Structure 1
């Protein structure tokens, strides 16, 4: 079963909320975020206004998966995580 773009957006939001609330995550979550964002960036059904947010999230997950201290990386980005969740809500 493939996910439509709204399912992908919801999954991104779920992972970001988990990072925001739990202040921890895994490399596999960062990798999954990256795959989801790449898919959305190439999907014409996704509003173009959402692209900068997706690019920011992609950069976050790429630096997170390569971080020697993922929990610190997540804690450092709490403000951005909150902002991204709010922005994604406005597009949903």
Structure 2
């Protein structure tokens, strides 16, 4: 049962990350004509990872914060960049 609960929590976390990405990215899309509509299937970590690879300053900062949080949860380093395309 504990294994199944952990699997469920991982899926819920991914869904919440997608929602957060859509809400934050959607608000930017509304106020900035140059911002594309965010992909509803992409997580916040994936978006941050892609932007960090492109060298965007905000993403490099956000990547350190998100990756640090996942390290505290026992994940391997590089969470944002590993989440690209998942």
TM-score normalised per structure 2: 0.36
Structure possessing the higher relative contact order (Cα contacts under 8 Å, 6 or more residues apart):
1
TM, length-normalised to structure 1: 0.34
